[in-house]
Structure 1
């Protein structure tokens, strides 16, 4: 099983009797699962079931779910609200007297809110439940498409992340090879400094120089950091191969990668190790950006 992204989009539509429905589901990155619903008035009762369906298939991400309905005009009954029309006429008459303008026309009065009402036909509980079942089936299809989109994006992310892990492996191997030369480089540098001090007539204690040399070598030893980086690469690959939602664990692991790279740069005793440390930081920054997209 591959990684899943938290980014995706899906849209489905269908018809139940004379009602056409449209589901739109989209998700983006999020620390946890946050579902936001936009349901038509009168369908609020579906919210618990919609949320439950999402929780069954999604683990993380900010998910927005929208439902739109389009009813057949023949299903609707247009009613005139006599009380609202009377109030509208009274207001229009009063305004006409005060402004001496033309009286309000009928189409203007009918266009005022509440004067004309569109009523939907009464439905039995069985009819409402059948409609709800059709809508939920459409939602299930939309969620399946969303998951498929997230899987497809996850496959692309997995390829990118594997390339970054391989780059870290290569840089660690390069640093390990250079590390074998570190004692000689430190000794050469120390000899240069001693020669300059000798020219200046400074008095040097051989035992103290030996201790300083050992201290410099210990400070420049990055083998422990390199070993940890290798272990982190192996751990990241195990997480990816597990087939489980691993986004949070990979984010934490990326922080550990960064910590070892920072220490490597701070300990670097030569230009080559500094260069490798900086390249490690660059690759790890890219890795951190990618794993933030993973479920």
Structure 2
């Protein structure tokens, strides 16, 4: 079964003190490419989270975003710059003596001076319980993204099946057209030869027929049709498989296009050429679709 590489999942966990938000976004990519943006508190879990993502996703670009907010994360501390306070006190005492000032200095005078106090924040370490909560949230988000990828993959499979059926119909029409195309080709050559020789009897008609046969042999597309039918069967079988099938589908689509180009170059019939154009158009659409299959 085809699985799309496009998906999204999210999870939130809220308490009185903290809010945890997890988002998982996946898009198509040639290989598995994991990108994570984690808070500092969860940096030590990066390798474990990467292994979790690898369980759910085998191909595509996977982006994991984790945010955590709350007062419990930070601890505020207040410190006094005692050296600065000593300097303030010394200057105030000198001022009092110089100008013979009376009275006591209220504490509000000292605390009102700049840089006496400094407030800093320290990150608190999260408990083991929050580590478990985070892993569960990531697992939930991954599960949502996986389900979305499976649903999208089902739609992709249906579309590809329809296009494969159209290709098979076009190939059948080309196959049935071969005998007619050869007859038409032979008659056209005979008519041109007759016009060239002013409808005079040919001295060696066997030679003409031999040339027609040689040209027809060069335009024979039986092998290409056989290979195209084989590739289409392989593509249908591959769509029914589980696991990572996108790369194989891309290869088969490329081979189909190669055979279609060969048929187009060999074609001596305008109708066959039109069928070939339709085939190439469908194959290009298939190539676009399978690029998003895991």
TM range (shorter): 0.7 to 0.9
Q: Which moved more, 1:14-23 or 1:129-138?
A: 14-23
Matched, 1:57 2:56: yes
State the partner residue of 2:264. 265
- In 2, are the aligned partners of 1:16 and 1:131 still within 8 Å (CA)? no
CA contact (8 A) 1:25 1:66 kept: yes
> Following the alignment from structure 1 to structure 2, what is the Cα–Cα distance between the partners of residues 9 and 178?
48
Q: Deviation of residue 181 (structure 1)?
A: 1.1
Where does residue 215 of structure 1 map in the other structure? Answer: 214
The answer for the alignment partner of 2:76 in structure 1 is 78
Change (3 A) 1:75 1:50: closer
| Pick aligned residue for 2:122 from 114, 119, 138 | 119
Q: Which runs of 5+ in 2 are unaligned?
A: 85-110
**Deviations, residues 228-250 of structure 1 (Å, cap 9, x unaligned):** 11111110011011122200000
Structure 1 211/80 Cα, relative in aligned 2: closer, same or farther at 3 Å? Answer: farther
Please state how far the C-alpha of 1:280 moved relative to its aligned partner: 0.4
Q: CA deviation at 1:279?
A: 0.5
Q: Deviations over 1:165-216 (max 9, x none)?
A: 0110110111111112122112101111210221197976434322211111
Partner Cα separation in structure 1 for residue 79 and residue 179 of structure 2: 91
Query: Which one is further off, 259-268 or 73-82?
Result: 73-82
Query: Counterpart in 2 of 1:94?
Result: none
2:24 corresponds in structure 1 to 25
Q: TM-score, normalised by structure 1?
A: 0.83
Aligned CA RMSD, in angstroms, stands at 2.5
Shift of 1:81: 5.5
Q: Secondary structure of the equivalent of 2:29?
A: coil
Structure 1 residue 256 and structure 2 residue 259: aligned?
no
1:101 matched residue in structure 2: none
- Asked if the contact 1:247/1:293 (under 8 Å) is kept, the reply is yes
Q: What residue number does 2:108 align with? A: none
Matched with 2:188 is 189
Tell me which residue corresponds to 2:225: 226
Q: Distance in 1 between matches of 2:274 and 2:66?
A: 54
Give the number of the structure whose alpha-carbon radius of gyration is greater. 2
Counting matched residue pairs gives: 264
Distance 2:72 2:27 in 1: 39
> Within 2, Cα distance between the matches of 1:238 and 1:54?
28
After superposition, the Cα gap between the structure-2 partners of 1:280 and 1:80, relative to the gap in structure 1 and judged at 3 Å, is same
| Alignment of structure 1 residues 267-286 onto 2, 5 Å | 267-286=266-285
State the TM-score, normalized to the length of structure 2: 0.83
CA deviations on 1:250-284 (whole Å, 9 max, x unpaired) are 00000001001101111111110000010000000
Residue matched to 1:102: none
Q: Secondary structure at the match of 2:67?
A: strand
